[in-house]
C-alpha cells in the first residue's frame, strides 16, 4: 500500500465558532485557535480540519459562502489566517480547509449578478428554471425546506437550492463556473493549505432534465437523491478537478458524500483515485428509520456488519464518530447516564473505531467525552435545520416529537463551546457566547482531565500515540474475529511483524468472552480497566499486541 502522510495522522476537526474566543465577543475565532495549538501538539494530532472560515452571512453557519477568498470578519482577518497556518506548520500540523462548492450564499456576487436578468453573464452559474404551471419546476424537496425551489419575481424564474433558500446550488454544467472554482482552489493551495474536505461533493451533478422524484410520490415534495446524488457526470467533474487542482500536489482530499454505498463508492475513490477517501453516511444513519429524526436504538450487530463491509469495500476509509452535524458520540453510541459509564464508554468507543483501518477524525470535545446538551427551549436553538424542523412541526402539530428528536439528534448538540475549564463559560469566552455552554462543563472539561491520568483525555492521547506509531495499526490488514458476537467487537490488525487484537465489550453489562483464539495471553498495550480475566467489565476494551516470530 502506498504510504501517505494523511494515512499516518489523526485529524482533529475544529468548529471555529465554538473552539476559543480570543477577543471577548462570545464567538470563537482564529486567534483563539492559535492559543490552543500547544494543546493540539500535546494531544498528538498531526492535522486540523477547519469548518468554513470564509466570509458568510451565516444562514447555515459558514456553509453559505459570500466570498471564498475572504475570512469571516467574526473569525478575524486574512493576516490571522496566515498566522494560524504558519504556526500550525511550524508545529508539524497540516491544515485542511472546508470546500463548499455545491452551493454558495445568495449574497455571493455571482448570485447577486445572476439574479439581475436572463442574459446576465452570471445567469448560468446557478440552476434557474421556468415554473411548471405556475408552480415549482419539479417536486424536489430540500434538506432544510419543503421545496428545493425559490421563485424570483424579477425574471419570473425559480432557482434550485438543495439546502436553505440562502444556499443556491451552483450549476456545474457551466465550464466557466467550474474553471473559477478550480482557480480559487489553486489559490488556496498556493497559500499553503494541505487539503480539502469537500462538502456534499457527490451532489454537484444533477440529473439532466431535473425529473420529478418518485419516492412517496403522493407527497407534495419528495426527497429525490436518486436525481442529484452520484450522477454519471460526477466522475467527469471530479476527474477534471483532480487534473486542474490536486494532481501533482501532496495534498489530501476527502469528500463528504451522503447516500454513497459500498457498491458505488469505488467510482469516486480508490481505483479512480478521484478522492483520497470519503465520509459515507451509513454509520450516521444507523439509528434513524426513514430519516434522522425517527430515532431507533443503536444495534451493535448492525454496526459491526456495516463497519466491516466498508473495511472490506475500500482500501482506505475515513473513521469518524461525530462532527459538527451530529450529536455527541458518547451520548449517542455510549452511555452518558453516569460519570463512570460516560468515561468507560467514551474510551471503549475511541478504541473500537479509531483502530480500524483508515484516517481517524476526532471532532473537538470527543477527546474529553463531551455530551449532548439538555436544551430547555426553542430560544436556545441556533441551527437552521432544527429551526426549520420545529417550524414544520408547529404547522403539522408534532412539536413534542420534533423536540425529542432535536434533543437526541439536533446539530447544536455538537456546536456548544469547547469545555476548557470550570470557570465561567467553560473558559471558552468571558462573555455570554453565541450559543449556551453545556451546563455540565464544571464536571467535564479539559483542565480537570489534564490532571487526571485516568481521564478520557489521557486515554485519547495514548490511543492517538498508539495508532500513529505503529505500522500495523496504520497500514496493516484488518480481520474480524467472532463476527456474530452480539456484544463484543473483536478484530485484528497486522503487518508482517506484529498483530494487534482489539477487543471491545460494547455493552454496559459484564460479559464473559468465549472465543477459541488465544488472545488473552498476549501483552496488553491499552485498556480502560486493570483486568486480565475472561470476564469483561461494562464497556471494557483491551488492545493486545503480539510480536510475530
Ligand atoms: O452537510 C451535508 C449533509 O448531508 C447534512 O445536511 C446532513 O444531512 C445533515 O446535517 C444531517 O442532519 C454539509 C455540512 O456538513 C453541513 O453543516 C451543511 O449544513 C450542509 O452540508 C450544507 O452545506
Ligand atoms: Ca471572538
Encode the chain (549 residues) as per-residue pLDDT tens digits. Answer: 899 999 999 999 999 999 999 999 999 999 999 999 999 999 999 999 999 999 999 999 999 999 999 999 999 999 999 999 999 999 999 999 999 999 999 999 999 999 999 999 999 999 999 999 999 999 999 999 999 999 999 999 999 999 999 999 999 999 999 999 999 999 999 999 999 999 999 999 999 999 999 987 678 999 999 999 999 999 999 999 999 999 999 999 999 999 999 999 999 996 667 999 999 999 999 999 989 999 999 999 999 999 999 999 999 999 999 999 999 999 999 999 999 999 999 999 999 999 999 999 999 999 999 999 999 999 999 999 999 999 999 999 999 999 999 999 999 999 999 999 999 999 999 999 999 999 999 999 999 999 999 999 999 999 999 999 999 999 999 999 999 999 999 999 999 999 999 999 999 999 999 988 899 999 999 999 999 999 999 999 999 999 998
256 annotated active-site: yes
Task: Judge whether 455 and 343 are in contact, CB under 8 Å.
Answer: yes
Helices (H), 355-424: 384-396, 399-409
CA–CA gap between residue 282 and residue 150 (Å, rounded): 30
Per-residue H/E/C for 492-513:
EEECCCEEEEEEEECCCCCEEC
* Cα angle value 67/101/359 (rounded, 5°): 115
- 133 with 32, same domain: the answer is no
- 85 with 124, same domain: the answer is no
Burial of 333 (0-12, 13-18, 19+ CB in 10 A): buried
192 belongs to a structural domain: no
Ligand nearest to the CA of 429: 2
494 belongs to a structural domain: yes
- 92 with 118, same domain: the answer is no
Task: Judge whether 257 and 199 are in contact, CB under 8 Å.
Answer: no
258 lines ligand 1 (CB under 6 A): yes
**Pick the catalytic residue: 64, 74, 80, 256?**
256
- 91 with 124, same domain: the answer is no
532 belongs to a structural domain: yes
471 CA → ligand 2 middle, Å: 40
Q: Which of 329, 355, 383 is nearest to 468 (CA)?
A: 355
325 lines ligand 1 (CB under 6 A): yes
Q: What is the domain range of residue 14?
A: 9-96+325-349+360-443
The pLDDT of residue 516 is: 85
The pLDDT of residue 517 is: 84
57 lines ligand 1 (CB under 6 A): no
Number of domains in the chain: 3
Ligand nearest to the CA of 433: 2
Cell of 237: 467533474
364 belongs to a structural domain: yes
- 32 with 88, same domain: the answer is yes
- 340 with 424, same domain: the answer is yes
139 CA → ligand 1 middle, Å: 21
385 lines ligand 1 (CB under 6 A): yes
CATH number at residue 493: 2.60.40.1180
Task: Identify the three-state secondary structure at position 10.
Answer: coil
Helices (H), 16-98: 30-35, 37-43, 78-90
Cα torsion 212, 213, 218, 222: sign:
negative
The pLDDT of residue 217 is: 67
- 439 with 329, same domain: the answer is yes
Amino acid at each position: 500500500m502506498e504510504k501517505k502522510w494523511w494515512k499516518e495522522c489523526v485529524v482533529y476537526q475544529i468548529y471555529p465558532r465554538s473552539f476559543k474566543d480570543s477577543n471577548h465577543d462570545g464567538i470563537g475565532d482564529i486567534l483563539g485557535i492559535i492559543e490552543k495549538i500547544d494543546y493540539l501538539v500535546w494531544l498528538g494530532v498531526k492535522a486540523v480540519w477547519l469548518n468554513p472560515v470564509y466570509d458568510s452571512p451565516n444562514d447555515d453557519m459558514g456553509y453559505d459562502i459570500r466570498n471564498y477568498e475572504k475570512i469571516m470578519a467574526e473569525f478575524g482577518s486574512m493576516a490571522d489566517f496566515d498566522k494560524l497556518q504558519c504556526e500550525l506548520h511550524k508545529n508539524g500540523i497540516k491544515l485542511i480547509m472546508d470546500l463548499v462548492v455545491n452551493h454558495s450564499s445568495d449574497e455571493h456576487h455571482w448570485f447577486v449578478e445572476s439574479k439581475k436578468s436572463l442574459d446576465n453573464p452570471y445567469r448560468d452559474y446557478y440552476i434557474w428554471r421556468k415554473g411548471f404551471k405556475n408552480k415549482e419546476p419539479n417536486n424536489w424537496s430540500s434538506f432544510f425546506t419543503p421545496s428545493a425551489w425559490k421563485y424570483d419575481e424579477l425574471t419570473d424564474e425559480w432557482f434550485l437550492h438543495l439546502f436553505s433558500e440562502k444556499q443556491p446550488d451552483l450549476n456545474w454544467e457551466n465550464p466557466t463556473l467550474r474553471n473559477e472554482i478550480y482557480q480559487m482552489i489553486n489559490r488556496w493551495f498556493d497559500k499553503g493549505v494541505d487539503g480539502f474536505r469537500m462538502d456534499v461533493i457527490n451532489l454537484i451533478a444533477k440529473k439532466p432534465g431535473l425529473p420529478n422524484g418518485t419516492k412517496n410520490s403522493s407527497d407534495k415534495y419528495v426527497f429525490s437523491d436518486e436525481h442529484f446524488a452520484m450522477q454519471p457526470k460526477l466522475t467527469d467533474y471530479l476527474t477534471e478537478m483532480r487534473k486542474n487542482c490536486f494532481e501533482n500536489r501532496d495534498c489530501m482530499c476527502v469528500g463528504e458524500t451522503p447516500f454513497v454505498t459500498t457498491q458505488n463508492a469505488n467510482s469516486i475513490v480508490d481505483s479512480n483515485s478521484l478522492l483520497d477517501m470519503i465520509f459515507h453516511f451509513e454509520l450516521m444513519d444507523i439509528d434513524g428509520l426513514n430519516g434522522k429524526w425517527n430515532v431507533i436504538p443503536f444495534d451493535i450487530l448492525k454496526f459491526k456488519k456495516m463497519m466491516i463491509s466498508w473495511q472490506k469495500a475500500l482500501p482506505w476509509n475515513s473513521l469518524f464518530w461525530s462532527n459538527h452535524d451530529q450529536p455527541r458520540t458518547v451520548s449517542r453510541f455510549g452511555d452518558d447516564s453516569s460519570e463512570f459509564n460516560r468515561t468507560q464508554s467514551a474510551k471503549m468507543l475511541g478504541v473500537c473505531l479509531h483502530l480500524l483501518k483508515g484516517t481517524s477524525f476526532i471532532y473537538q470535545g470527543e477527546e474529553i467525552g463531551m455530551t449532548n446538551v439538555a436544551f430547555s427551549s426553542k430560544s436556545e436553538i441556533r441551527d437552521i435545520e432544527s429551526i426549520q424542523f420545529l417550524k414544520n412541526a408547529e404547522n403539522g402539530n408534532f412539536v413534542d416529537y420534533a423536540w425529542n428528536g432535536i434533543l437526541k439528534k439536533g446539530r447544536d448538540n455538537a456546536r456548544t463551546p469547547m469545555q476548557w475549564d470550570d470557570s465561567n463559560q467553560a473558559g471558552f469566552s468571558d462573555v455570554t457566547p453565541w450559543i449556551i455552554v453545556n451546563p455540565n462543563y464544571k464536571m467535564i472539561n479539559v483542565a480537570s482531565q489534564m490532571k487526571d491520568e485516568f481521564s478520557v483525555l489521557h486515554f485519547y492521547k495514548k490511543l492517538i500515540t498508539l495508532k500513529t506509531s505503529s505500522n500495523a495499526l496504520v497500514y496493516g490488514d484488518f480481520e474480524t474475529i467472532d463476527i456474530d458476537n452480539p456484544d463484543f467487537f473483536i478484530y485484528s490488525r497486522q503487518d508482517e511483524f506484529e498483530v494487534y487484537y482489539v477487543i471491545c465489550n460494547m455493552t454496559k453489562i459484564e460479559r464473559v468472552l468465549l472465543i477459541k483464539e488465544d488472545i488473552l495471553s498476549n501483552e496488553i498495550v491499552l485498556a480502560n480497566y486493570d483486568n486480565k480475566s475472561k470476564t469483561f467489565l461494562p464497556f471494557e476494551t483491551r488492545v493486545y499486541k503480539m510480536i510475530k516470530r
